[in-house]
């Protein structure tokens, strides 16, 4: 069993990475393999198709997905949004029904608005959203500051354990023949017709 953690920050080993590592550590303790994917600037420097294709192959193999982003102007980073727009459009089916969570890192504010945006990718794609003991956020401007956010770090560990539990429950259910019901034919209405 494996969880893919997507680091949507421009900084490879910054605050978002620090939060993702804490969640990954808790997942590993529960016997779940983890991989942290750094998207970096690839989503905005002309390499988005290549970056999304690479991630698409990884999401096919993953049993769960965690997306991390810094807060920029009270929103997720532009990089992560460009990347997710494309990833969900092209590989949404490969992520359907897989547990997912978003985590955000901020110096001070804009965390809940950012989580709201990120969680919506999962919710339109029939992915169970995994929660923690508080909303999935850490605070800091540097990894050192984030590590001082004791509550934030604990939130990441609880998130990791909860995701491990849910992935195992889904696998156990599948072994017992419990699968998602057959989908209905999709109804698609626009506001104007």
Ligand X SMILES: Cc1cc2nc3c(=O)[nH]c(=O)nc-3n(C[C@H](O)[C@H](O)[C@H](O)COP(=O)(O)O)c2cc1C
Question: What are the tokens at 101?
Answer: 């969570």
CA angle 147, 152, 156 (to 5 degrees): 100
Tell me the window of 31-39, 102-110, 119-127, 157-165 that interacts with ligand X (CB under 6 A).
Answer: 102-110
Q: Output 71 or 81, the one with its CB closest to ligand X.
A: 71
CB contact at 8 A, 61 and 193: no
Distance between CA atoms of residues 90 and 87, nearest Å: 5
40 scored as a contact of ligand X (CB under 6 A): no
Q: Does 41 bind ligand X (CB under 6 A)?
A: no
- Per-residue binding string, ligand X, 103-132, x by CB under 6 A, is --xxxxxx----------------------
Residue closer to ligand X (CB basis): 6 or 166: 6
What SS3 state is found at 187? Answer: coil
Contact window for ligand X (CB under 6 A) among 28-36, 85-93, 99-107, 161-169: 99-107
Report the residue count for the chain. Answer: 193
Binding mask 52-91 for ligand X (x = CB under 6 A): ------------------xxxxx-----------------
List, in order, residues 6 or more apart from 57 with CB less than 8 Å away: none
3-state secondary structure of 173: helix
Asked whether position 136 contacts ligand X by CB under 6 A, the answer is: no
Instruction: Report residue 70 as tokens.
Output: 């810094």
In angstroms, the Cα distances linking 93 to 22, 56, 58, 96, 189 are 28, 10, 13, 5, 20
Residues 3, 4, 5, 16: which binds ligand X (CB under 6 A)? 16
Using CB under 6 A, list all residues that contact ligand X.
9-11, 14-16, 70-74, 105-110, 140-141
């Amino acid at each position: 069993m494996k969880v893919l953690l997507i680091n949507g920050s421009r900084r490879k080993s910054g605050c978002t990475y620090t939060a993702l590592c804490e969640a990954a550590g808790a997942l590993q303790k529960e016997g779940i393999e983890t991989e942290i994917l750094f998207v970096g600037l690839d989503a905005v420097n002309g390499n988005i198709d290549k970056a999304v294709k690479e991630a698409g192959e990884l999401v096919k193999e993953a049993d769960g997905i965690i997306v991390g982003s810094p807060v920029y102007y009270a929103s997720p980073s532009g990089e992560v949004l460009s990347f997710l727009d494309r990833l969900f459009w092209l590989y949404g089916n490969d992520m359907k029904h897989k547990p997912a969570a978003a985590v955000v890192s901020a110096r001070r504010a804009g965390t809940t608005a950012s989580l709201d945006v990120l969680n919506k990718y999962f919710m339109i794609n029939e992915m169970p959203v995994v929660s923690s003991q508080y909303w999935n956020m850490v605070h800091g401007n540097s990894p050192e500051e984030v590590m001082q956010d004791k509550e934030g770090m604990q939130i990441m560990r609880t998130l990791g354990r909860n995701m491990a539990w849910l992935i195992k429950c889904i696998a156990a259910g599948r072994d017992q023949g419990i699968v998602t019901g057959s989908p209905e034919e999709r109804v698609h209405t626009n506001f104007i017709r």
